Every structure is written in structure tokens, then in C-alpha cells.
Amino acid sequence: MLRVAVLASGRGSNLEALLEASRQGNAGYRIVGVFSDKPQAGALDIARAAGIPAVALAATKGEDRAKHDAAFFARVRQVQPDLIVCAGYMRIISADALAHLTIPMINIHPSLLPRYPGLHTHARVLEAGDTEHGSSVHVVTAELDAGPLLAQTRIDVRHDDTPDTLAARVLTQEHRLLPACVRAIASRRLSVTGSAPLFDGVPLTAPLRLLESTGELTR
């Protein structure tokens, strides 16, 4: 079983989706710890209710980012994860921490990367007049939301959409996309440990997509 540590800053809906998927017989992974930079994050309550170790380590005002990240990831390493999943983790991780981290880490982001890294993605999509929006899972690197892309899911932008309606529809897709990526890593179909991601042993030249019929990934 792939041991997964989840980082989350908010209510934890993607954590819930990961947990639900992990309880299926063919998931191949289990969540061994949940970590947050926000002591009041709902994700911590979800973890505790499920009997999963939950740790909050908030940064103090003026604290050096690299020092905080070193302490934070020391706690993460204690649960001995094979994979770290950022599921709504909003704190930017220092390059120094990433350089010393040997555990692969993936992140889910609410846009069709490389478009719209960072915050306020739904409003930016509407401001640009885009007709398509979606979500991406990528490998975490020192550059914000710029690591190798693993998979994406897409939705049409409707003429009456608002940032809130877009966010809700994208989140529904995220709840399917993120567990599919973790399952694919657990089954070793998707590899994120080398210099470039592989799917079924072949380098990815474009993000994988989600099959509506099965909820699994395909080229």
C-alpha cells in the first residue's frame, strides 16, 4: 500500500475525496497523516474523525520560511510517506525545503496550467473571456505551479458563470481527478520519481485525462 501524507489549509473536501477513494478495495493507497499550516483547518477535523494523525504547524510572524518548512516537513517525514499530496495547501513551500525533500510531492491546482498559476483562477478565466476551464495535477517544484503536468480535467465556461459557479464545478472534477492520480501512482502506472513523469513506462508529452466512464486516467 502506498503511504500518502496530505497537506491541506482549508475545509478538506479534496481530502474527503481521497479518503473515500482509499476505502475502495483497489485503491492501493492509504492516508497516514494530514498536515496543515492552519490550526483551524477543517481538513484536520476530517482526519481526526477518521483516526488519522493530524498535525498543525502555523508559521509565526517574522519566522524564516525555510526554518518553518524544515520543521514542518520533519513532522511529515515522521509518518514515513511514499507520496505527499497537496490538497488545497495554500502556503508556498521554500526552494530550500524542496531541495532537501526526497519524497515525491504532487499538487492539485484549479486551472488549466500553465494558464493562471497562483490565486483567483476562476475570476481570471472570466476576465480573459476563456471558453474552457479546469483543474491540473502537477509535480511540485520550486517554481509556483510550474512543475511537470500529470493530468487535467476540463469544463466549458457558461455564459452566466461567476467565479463561484466555476469554482463549484471545477471542485467536483477535482474530487475525481486527484484520487485517480494517486491510484495511478499506487499502481505504478504513473511514475513521478524520475526526471520526467512516465505513464505505463512512456514519458508524458501531454497531461493525462480522466475517463468519464471509469474515473481512471488515459492518454
C-alpha cell at 3: 503511504
Same-domain pairing of 83 and 128: no
pLDDT value, residue 61: 85
Same-domain pairing of 125 and 215: yes
Nearest alpha carbon to residue 138 among 186, 177, 171, 169 = 177
Q: How confident is the model at residue 57 (pLDDT cuts 50, 70, 90)?
A: very high
Same-domain pairing of 44 and 20: yes
Same-domain pairing of 99 and 158: no
Nearest alpha carbon to residue 170 among 159, 182, 162 = 162
- pLDDT per residue over 130-181, tens digit each? 999 999 999 999 999 999 999 999 999 999 999 999 999 999 999 999 999 9
Find the domain containing 169 and state its range.
109-134+151-219
Contact call for residues 7 and 18 (beta carbons, < 8 A)? no
Pairing of strands 190-191, 217-218: unpaired
Provide the percentage of residues in the chain whose pLDDT is more than 90: 93
Same-domain pairing of 67 and 121: no
Same-domain pairing of 72 and 117: no
Question: Is the confidence at residue 212, as pLDDT, over 90?
Answer: no
Burial class (CB in 10 A: 0-12, 13-18, 19+), 59: middle
C-alpha cell at 83: 507520496
- Domain of 8, CATH number, reads 3.40.50.170
Largest CA distance in the chain: 49
Amino acid at 87: A
Which of 68, 100, 109, 175 is labelled catalytic?
A: 109
pTM of the model: 0.97
Domain count, the chain: 2
> Is 175 an active-site residue?
no
Torsion from C-alpha of 107, 113, 114, 117, nearest 10 degrees: -60
Phi and psi (nearest 5°) for 141? -130, 180
Mean pLDDT (whole number) for 101-112: 97
Same-domain pairing of 35 and 113: no
Nearest alpha carbon to residue 103 among 127, 73, 83, 87 = 83
Same-domain pairing of 97 and 162: no
Q: Is residue 145 assigned to a domain?
A: no
Same-domain pairing of 85 and 156: no
**Rounded Cα gap, residues 99 and 193, in angstroms:** 14
